[in-house]
Amino acid sequence: MSEQHKNKKASILFVDDEELAIMTLRRIFQQDFTIYTALNGAEALKLVRAHPEITVLVTDLRMPKMDGIELARQVAQESPTIVSILLTAYADITLIVDTMREGILHQYMAKPYDDRILKQEVIRGIQWNTLLKERDSCNIERIELKKEIAKIKNTQ
């Protein structure tokens, strides 16, 4: 299966309060991915709740009511395997680095961005999402095995 075909299954959520930015991102990514878009944080959260298949969130930093970091923080609480990428023309590097250290953000990119590099980061985000889900699945399996071992020990 080609890399492009595998990625088509990946669902990406783009959030920006500027409709032109959303249209540009859709144009760049729609051939390779399933795309969802939102113009604000509240709309984005509704989409995350309605579409558990979303793997990567790409959000602008500066938006009214809820900025991109707060959106990424809420998404991380509700869906911890969604990988968040922040796009910004106004970088508060300290805040961004701190948020990355917390595990809220996977990556950030300055605007204007290079389409190819953004696409590479989204693909890395999809790969990271896959690893997170595999890790969680292994942890669940490990817990179940420990329960079974405990049952066996208790019956002896």
Would you say 109 and 85 are in contact if contact means Cβ atoms under 8 Å apart? yes
Q: Which residues pair with 107 in a beta bridge?
A: 85
Give one word for 103, left, alpha or beta, with left for phi > 0 and alpha for psi -120 to 50.
left
pLDDT band, very low/low/confident/very high, at 4 (cuts 50, 70, 90): very low
**Whether the predicted model's global pTM rises above the 0.85 cut:** no
Which domains are present in the chain? 3-155 (3.40.50.2300)
User: pLDDT digits over 28-78, tens only?
Assistant: 999 999 999 999 999 999 999 999 999 999 999 999 999 999 999 999 999
| SS3 category, 55 | strand
